[in-house]
Amino acid sequence: MQAKVTAPVFEHHREPLGIGESRPRLSWRTETDTPGWRQAAYQIELVDDTGAVLGGTDGRVESDASVLVPWPGPELASRTRVGARVRVWDTGNRASPWSPVAYAETGLLDPADWTARPIAPRPDPGTGPARPRPVVLLRRSFRLHGPIASARLHITALGVFQPELNGRPVGADVLAPGWSSYHHRLRYSTHDVTEHLRQGENVLGALLGEGWYSGRLGFHGGRRDIYGDRPALLAQLEVRYADGTTRTVATDTRWQAATGPALRSELYDGEEYDARLERPGWSAPGDPGPGWTPVVELGMPRGALVAPTGPPVRRTRTLAPVRILTTPAGHTVLDFGQNLVGRLRIRVRGEAGRTITLRHAEVLEHGELALRPLRQAAATDRYTLSGAPGGETYEPLFTFHGFRYAQVDGWPGEPAPGDVEAVVLHTAMERTGWFTCSEPLVNRLHANVVWGMRGNFLDVPTDCPQRDERLGWTGDIAVFAPTAAFLFDCSGMLGSWLRDLAAEQLTRPDGAIPPLVVPDALPEGFPAAPNAVWADSAVLVPWALYRAFGDEGLLRTQWESMSGWADELERYVARDGGLWRGEFQLGDWLDPAAPPDRPGDARTDGDLVANAYAARTAEIMAEVAALLGEPGHAERYTRLAGRVRAAFADEFVTPGGLLASDAQTAYALALRFALLPTGRQRERAGRRLVEIVRRAGFRIATGFAGTPLICDALTEAGAPQIAYRMLLETGCPSWLYPVTMGATTVWERWDAMLPDGTVNPGEMTSFNHYALGAVADWLHRAVAGLGEAAPGWKRLRIAPVPGGTLTHAHAAHLTPYGRAEAGWERHGGTLTVTAVVPPNTTAEVQLPDATPLFEVGSGHHTFTVHGFTTPAWPPQPLRHPFSSPEENAPAPEDGGDGGDRR
Ligand code: RAM
């Protein structure tokens, strides 16, 4: 087959309308079944709407680059539409046909492009600010004369908004503009609304809610109005007539405001909606009815108006209930069979004035909704019927909940299964990673990781989606980023989040320490001291993205933030004899041995964790500096890494190779981050880790810091069977314990639900926290054997480590070059390894036998290993002679379906 090139992608955009880059980089994939295919050269042409060539590369460019290739044309101005197409030559000088043309259009790149001003309803002098504020309707009627060629709506809000034009919603974005560090950056979106408009009267409207801007955020009661106390809308509709003239309709004092049916709509507490107060046709031409008042103009937002770099939040699927239960207390509860993030959509017929209450929870306890884990989030929607004779439908506007169960009170009669569905919301990222194996419980674990990512990638990478928190905790994403970047294309979304991290960090008084949560919504000055892992996110997250997506530009953009934090580390180390000694560290947060009320009381010393991560951070920084052409800095960071390593070995490692904290996380860190100077120490530490794990009866004993590392540490220490034994353990605590308890997402705590079905008495009992799901990275790379050996998957590493009771495993990933796969199947002593290597990449292959590492080109590959054996299964625990036999029950041999035991 002749090589075919896909339509190029602009930057990381799935929908390149209103992009903010004036020199967007281009990426393309080549599809071919020619084995060993490599690109030798490319040519890019830029075209206009009619396909006429505007420019491009100067003929063909001798290069194998196909990912984020520099823009081959002049800088784009605002509102510019441009097409691009690509063709390539292979190493045999065979040309591909031209790719299809992909079009992109810039948004408003210059602040001066905005003539609109933010508008808000006039404050009501009599009543003072309502708490919480109702959703406001804003509208403006205007006339258009003559045929319309095209129209764009550029829009954002201080708050959350939903635009409507002539009675129809514009676009499908939810909770726009999402949550950024509004003081620094406010994202706007651009919509093609050509089809919405007509000659004559038109009406542009928007619903405006509090959202993250002024709604309550944070735990312990949280705070309101963190960014401001006046939600406002900023909209600019630009119409181009067929004759080339233009007309702009922008938010200004000609707009009008009214309240509507949503009396409040809050992220944590939910929405209260009285359908009797609806204003039919409020955003359509004609008389909008009474009660409209003028608006006031506010000053321009403090933060820069920026185009998004990632996708918006959308409704991505709906789920029907799998069961309708009556609880012991007599409530009707719908079970959606999956812990998810979103909200309900109901269809109901009943009398006007009746109120239906919808409460949400992730689990049941004693047969009722378990509400305690939500802490101070009411997560309750109330809908009062209008009594429409044909029935009515309702989905809340500006809230979301984390739930599997929903209690429905006040329904006229009983809801039938089709009356209520769950609408799943998250950032509309493209799915790029898959894993399956012969063990159903592990497959469910992997599915739980995927669902956990969906629910916690709702514009901001959050710790959890349900309680009075839902914050961009930096440590959580620091450990989960490699897994995230495999499962979904989160390059654009996390790239944007990192801009916020940098903005928050660099404008703090010290300019060095990233906040614990981004956007920073914690009370001022909290916390006083920096925390390893959390602060290291400034380096670990960009690095994970660089490895996955090959975006060197991202490193360049983040350099100031990355080096800001690394230089701060350097100062700590210089001050205190080569080590960072913190007063307090979150450290190996949620070590399962930590008491419920003291989640930071881990077995591994916080300083040990901090310095291990400091060495890793310094080492990454040395690589980044070298890559960005900063040899001086590279040398300095290499020295820093060396100094921390030496001091670490001095302080925390015995000459024989034992660690000051004799705990799983300590050994995992030391082994994975190369903190053991001698071969003898490494060998001993590996053996000691195995001993500790066997002594623990293969139960997990790591928190946030150690969990992503322990299976790799065991694998590298030559004990993959021990890693498998841990993976397959079902007793509490373990990865599969929650699965056997019916979990459909990854829990915050290993024992968020106790074996007796009650909820852990601690405060941290989210049932949807992705951090401990970081083990999926090991499933992909080691169990299935699919990993990247060079940034952006330009080179793959196929290195499966079959083991445990697994008879097959397989992973696939849509790399920037195309789909890659790796997997294996075992029949007795014969092991068949398969791999798919995308065009324009190579792979190093390490088979699980004595065959030395070798290299292959693109295409489908099969390798057979004869006489394959693994050490005896199951590995034996180290038992104290008086321990109970139950403690060491073997892992499941045949698995179950992970069915619901709740
Ligand atoms: C909790 C969060 C998060 C963690 C912090 C330290 O409140 O849920 O997961 O990063 O604490």
Q: Taking residues 177-188, what's their average pLDDT?
A: 98
Tens-place pLDDT, residues 545-562: 999 999 999 999 999 999
- Report the percent of the chain where pLDDT is more than 90: 93
Q: Does ligand 1 lie within 6 Å of residue 421's CB atom?
A: no
* Per-residue pLDDT at 886: 56
Centre of ligand 1 from the C-alpha of residue 759, in Å? 18
Q: Does ligand 1 lie within 6 Å of residue 802's CB atom?
A: no
The domain defined by 4-106 folds into: Immunoglobulin-like (2.60.40)
Tens-place pLDDT, residues 702-741: 999 999 999 999 999 999 999 999 999 999 999 999 999 9
Which residue among 764, 767, 769 is best mutated to probe the pocket of ligand 1, counting the most ligand atoms within 8 A of its Cβ? 764
Tens-place pLDDT, residues 36-63: 999 999 999 999 989 899 999 999 999 9
Residues of the chain with CATH 2.60.40.10: 4-106
Helices 631-652, 552-575: axis angle to 10 degrees equals 50
* Per-residue pLDDT at 126: 65
Q: Are 769 and 748 in contact (CB under 8 A)?
A: yes
Centre of ligand 1 from the C-alpha of residue 462, in Å? 9
Amino acid, res. 49: D
Q: Does ligand 1 lie within 6 Å of residue 501's CB atom?
A: no
Centre of ligand 1 from the C-alpha of residue 187, in Å? 26
pLDDT tier at 901, thresholds 50, 70, 90:
very low
Q: Does ligand 1 lie within 6 Å of residue 868's CB atom?
A: no
Concatenating the DSSP letter of every residue in 170-237 gives -SS-SSBT----TTTEEE-EEEE-GGG--SEEEEEEEEEE-HHHHS-BSSTT-BS-SS-S--EEEEEE
Tens-place pLDDT, residues 623-673: 999 999 999 999 999 999 999 999 999 999 999 999 999 999 999 999 999
* Burial class of 844 by CB neighbour count within 10 A (0 to 12, 13 to 18, 19+): middle
* Per-residue pLDDT at 893: 42
Closest atom of ligand 1 relative to the 463 alpha carbon: 9
Nearest CA to ligand 1 atom 3: 463
Q: Taking residues 146-169, what's their average pLDDT?
A: 98
Q: Does ligand 1 lie within 6 Å of residue 747's CB atom?
A: no
Centre of ligand 1 from the C-alpha of residue 764, in Å? 8
In angstroms, the CA 69 to CA 879 distance is 58
Q: Does ligand 1 lie within 6 Å of residue 546's CB atom?
A: no
Q: Taking residues 114-124, what's their average pLDDT?
A: 94
Nearest CA to ligand 1 atom 8: 463
Centre of ligand 1 from the C-alpha of residue 820, in Å? 34
Q: Cβ–Cβ contacts within 10 Å for residue 258, how many?
A: 18
Closest atom of ligand 1 relative to the 748 alpha carbon: 9
Nearest to 347 by CA among 424, 272, 418, 399: 418
Centre of ligand 1 from the C-alpha of residue 476, in Å? 7
Q: Taking residues 186-209, what's their average pLDDT?
A: 98
Q: Does ligand 1 lie within 6 Å of residue 468's CB atom?
A: no
Q: Which comes out higher in pLDDT, residue 880 or 25?
A: 25
Closest atom of ligand 1 relative to the 476 alpha carbon: 10
Which residue carries 């490699």 as its tokens?
482
Centre of ligand 1 from the C-alpha of residue 736, in Å? 22
How many helices (H) and strands (E) are present in the chain, helices listed first? Answer: 14, 46
Centre of ligand 1 from the C-alpha of residue 487, in Å? 22
- Report the percent of the chain where pLDDT is more than 70: 97
Tens-place pLDDT, residues 441-494: 999 999 999 999 999 999 999 999 999 999 999 999 999 999 999 999 999 999
Centre of ligand 1 from the C-alpha of residue 463, in Å? 6
Residue 3: C-alpha distances to residues 37, 94, 98, 190 (Å): 9, 9, 10, 35
Nearest to 6 by CA among 41, 37, 31, 33: 31
Q: Is 672 left (phi over 0), alpha (psi -120 to 50) or beta?
A: alpha
The domain defined by 114-306 folds into: Jelly Rolls (2.60.120)
Nearest CA to ligand 1 atom 2: 463
Nearest CA to ligand 1 atom 9: 463
Q: Taking residues 134-138, what's their average pLDDT?
A: 98
In angstroms, the CA 541 to CA 610 distance is 17
Q: Does ligand 1 lie within 6 Å of residue 589's CB atom?
A: yes
Does the structure show a pLDDT above 50 at 896? Answer: no
pLDDT tier at 900, thresholds 50, 70, 90:
very low
Which residue among 463, 609, 746, 750 is best mutated to probe the pocket of ligand 1, counting the most ligand atoms within 8 A of its Cβ? 463
Report the chain's mean pLDDT, rounded to a whole number.
95
Closest atom of ligand 1 relative to the 600 alpha carbon: 6
pLDDT tier at 255, thresholds 50, 70, 90:
very high
Nearest CA to ligand 1 atom 4: 473
Q: Does ligand 1 lie within 6 Å of residue 594's CB atom?
A: no
Does the structure show a pLDDT above 80 at 273? Answer: yes
Which residue carries 């916080």 as its tokens?
606
Q: Give the single-character DSSP code of 781.
A: I
Scanning 224-302, the segments in alpha helix (DSSP H) are none
In angstroms, the CA 828 to CA 109 distance is 62
Q: Does ligand 1 lie within 6 Å of residue 473's CB atom?
A: yes
Q: Does ligand 1 lie within 6 Å of residue 463's CB atom?
A: yes
Centre of ligand 1 from the C-alpha of residue 599, in Å? 9
Q: Does ligand 1 lie within 6 Å of residue 803's CB atom?
A: no
Active-site positions read 469, 748
Does the structure show a pLDDT above 80 at 124? Answer: no
Q: Does ligand 1 lie within 6 Å of residue 637's CB atom?
A: no
In angstroms, the CA 652 to CA 636 distance is 24
Nearest to 39 by CA among 895, 816, 667: 816
Six token digits for residue 181: 């560090």
Nearest CA to ligand 1 atom 6: 586
Tens-place pLDDT, residues 800-852: 999 999 999 999 999 999 999 999 999 999 999 999 999 999 999 999 999 99
Closest atom of ligand 1 relative to the 473 alpha carbon: 10
Q: Are 85 and 44 in contact (CB under 8 A)?
A: yes
* Per-residue pLDDT at 885: 55
pLDDT tier at 17, thresholds 50, 70, 90:
very high
CA 54-59-63 angle, 5° bins: 120
Residues of the chain with CATH 1.50.10.10: 433-784
Residues with Cβ within 8 Å of 128's Cβ and at least 6 positions away in sequence, in order, are none
Q: Does ligand 1 lie within 6 Å of residue 640's CB atom?
A: no
The domain defined by 795-865 folds into: Maltose phosphorylase, domain 3 (2.60.420)
Residues of the chain with CATH 2.60.120.260: 114-306, 313-427
Residues of the chain with CATH 2.60.420.10: 795-865
CA 129-132-138 angle, 5° bins: 75
pLDDT tier at 366, thresholds 50, 70, 90:
very high
Closest atom of ligand 1 relative to the 531 alpha carbon: 6
* Burial class of 727 by CB neighbour count within 10 A (0 to 12, 13 to 18, 19+): buried
Closest atom of ligand 1 relative to the 219 alpha carbon: 7
Q: Taking residues 775-781, what's their average pLDDT?
A: 98
Centre of ligand 1 from the C-alpha of residue 773, in Å? 15
Centre of ligand 1 from the C-alpha of residue 262, in Å? 32
Residues with Cβ within 8 Å of 403's Cβ and at least 6 positions away in sequence, in order, are 336, 339, 340, 360, 361, 362, 379, 422, 466
In angstroms, the CA 851 to CA 706 distance is 31
Q: Taking residues 371-392, what's their average pLDDT?
A: 97
Closest atom of ligand 1 relative to the 769 alpha carbon: 9
Nearest to 88 by CA among 12, 46, 31: 31
Q: Does ligand 1 lie within 6 Å of residue 480's CB atom?
A: no
The domain defined by 433-784 folds into: Glycosyltransferase (1.50.10)
- CATH number for the segment(s) 313-427: 2.60.120.260
Q: Lowest-confidence range among 89-103, 354-368, 522-536? A: 522-536
Q: Does ligand 1 lie within 6 Å of residue 433's CB atom?
A: no
Q: Does ligand 1 lie within 6 Å of residue 770's CB atom?
A: no
Q: Does ligand 1 lie within 6 Å of residue 580's CB atom?
A: no
Residues with Cβ within 8 Å of 502's Cβ and at least 6 positions away in sequence, in order, are 538, 557, 558, 560, 561
Tens-place pLDDT, residues 856-885: 999 999 999 999 999 889 999 998 777 665
Q: Tell me the CA end-to-end span of the chain in Å, nearest whole number.
A: 53
Run of H or E including 364: strand 364-365
